[in-house]
């Protein structure tokens, strides 16, 4: 059972992330403001992360300098406030399935920025380098198809969803081409800023290798940032009220399950099996979202979305294959430290800390 735990937890994580797209879409379909939703979501997550961080930290103090706080504020602004607001608007304008498909772009977009900042290298003389470049090209092609080609609309198999929302609010056939392309543009903004976010986090953690405290600080700062954005965009007090309905359930789900549990579970999976294993599980998010859209929202799908999402999954595996081939290193230097040496252990622990926080969503 012990060897199966990472697989079970990884599947749980992807189903939880799929639920995030579905619950967000359900809340937006009832008319909830996307900016207010994100503020409540981050606030709920902070109520979980702050006590958890204090519990794990104990009496150990790791003070942050003013410069580090400014860096965290900027990183939070880019990767959480800007990215999540763009993602929320995109889900509102398109569909939960398309939002889930965008997650498959994250390893590719992150890799592109890592190459631009010379944190990654591409050798076109080797099969691994060709596979990574091919993956980037396929990713761009899939994104273009998602944005510009809809194709025939495939109706949902279930006409009585779990969430009783008016059909006109979730039926994406009524979405205009202009709104659809605008939603795809916001998805591009979200995946781009997430890619930058991951790279910036990796750099920051080289000097402050404490991912749990770092993530907690980001979340708390994002609460203030998201509140400013929400209060500017929506000042009607009635829009800020939460009742016992799908809006409250979506906020609690995303705050507790996604931010509080799934993100920390993802850290454990990456520690046990590595970042490549976790990334390989990402397409399960898309599959779970497609099934959930049918069961809970009665939301159909366009043929173009299926083709584009398939290309995104293909691009993901192409880049991961190339990356995994480059990670297979044959020891040729006897002066290299052994796997059990203190130097190698310290280097591996530092790498794991960076990889763990760089894959949090």
Contact 136, 112 (CB under 8 A): yes
Contact 76, 218 (CB under 8 A): yes
- Residue 36 has a pLDDT of 93
- Residue 227 has a pLDDT of 95
Q: How confident is the model at residue 228 (pLDDT cuts 50, 70, 90)?
A: very high
Residue 353 has pLDDT above 60, yes or no: no
User: Mean pLDDT throughout 349-353?
Assistant: 47
Average pLDDT, the chain: 78
Choice among 89-93, 214-218, 281-285, 335-339 with the minimum mean pLDDT: 335-339
* Structure token pair of residue 339: 């796997």
- Residue 60 has a pLDDT of 65
Share of the chain above pLDDT 90, in %: 13
How many CA atoms lie less than 13 Å away from 121 in the CB half-sphere?
Answer: 5
Range with the largest mean pLDDT of 247-261, 282-296, 302-316: 247-261
CA dihedral sign, ordered 271, 212, 191, 162: positive
Q: How far apart are the first and last CA of the chain?
A: 28
Share of the chain above pLDDT 70, in %: 80
Distances (CA, A) of 270 to 117, 164, 199, 260: 24, 37, 17, 17
Q: What is the pLDDT of residues 75-129, one digit of tens each?
A: 999 989 999 999 888 888 887 777 887 777 777 777 777 777 776 777 777 888 8
Q: How confident is the model at residue 39 (pLDDT cuts 50, 70, 90)?
A: very high
Choice among 91-100, 175-184, 227-236, 339-348 with the minimum mean pLDDT: 339-348
* Residue count (the chain): 361
Contact 311, 41 (CB under 8 A): no
């Amino acid at each position: 059972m012990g060897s199966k735990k990472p697989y079970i937890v990884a599947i749980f994580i992807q189903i939880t992330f799929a639920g995030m797209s579905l619950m967000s879409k359900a809340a937006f379909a009832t008319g909830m403001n996307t900016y207010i939703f994100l503020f409540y979501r981050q606030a709920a997550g902070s109520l979980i992360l702050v006590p958890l961080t204090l519990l794990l930290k104990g009496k150990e103090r790791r003070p942050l300098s003013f410069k580090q706080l400014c860096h965290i504020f900027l990183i939070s602004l880019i990767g959480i406030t800007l990215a999540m607001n763009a993602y929320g608007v995109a889900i509102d304008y398109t569909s939960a399935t398309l939002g889930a498909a965008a997650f498959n772009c994250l390893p590719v977009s992150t890799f592109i920025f890592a190459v631009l900042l010379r944190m990654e290298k591409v050798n076109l003389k080797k099969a691994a380098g060709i596979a990574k470049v091919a993956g980037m090209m396929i990713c761009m092609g899939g994104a273009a198809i998602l944005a510009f080609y809809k194709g025939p609309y495939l109706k949902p198999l279930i006409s009585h969803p779990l969430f009783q929302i008016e059909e006109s609010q979730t039926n994406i056939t009524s979405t205009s081409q202009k709104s659809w392309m605008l939603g795809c543009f916001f998805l591009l903004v979200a995946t781009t800023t997430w890619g930058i976010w991951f790279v910036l986090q990796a750099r920051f953690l080289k000097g402050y290798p404490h991912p749990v405290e770092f993530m907690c600080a980001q979340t708390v700062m994002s609460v203030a940032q998201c509140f400013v954005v929400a209060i500017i965009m929506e000042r009607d007090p009635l829009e800020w009220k939460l009742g016992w309905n799908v809006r409250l359930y979506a906020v609690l789900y995303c705050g507790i399950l996604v931010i509080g549990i799934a993100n920390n579970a993802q850290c454990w999976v990456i520690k046990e099996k590595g970042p490549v294993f976790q990334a390989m599980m990402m397409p399960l998010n898309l599959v779970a979202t497609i099934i959930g859209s049918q069961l809970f929202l009665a939301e159909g799908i366009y043929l173009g979305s299926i083709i584009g999402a398939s290309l995104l999954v293909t691009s993901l595996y192409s880049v991961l294959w190339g990356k995994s081939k480059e990670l297979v290193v044959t020891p040729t230097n006897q002066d290299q430290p052994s796997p059990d040496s203190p130097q190698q252990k310290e280097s591996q622990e530092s790498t794991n800390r960076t990889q763990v926080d760089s894959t949090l969503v």
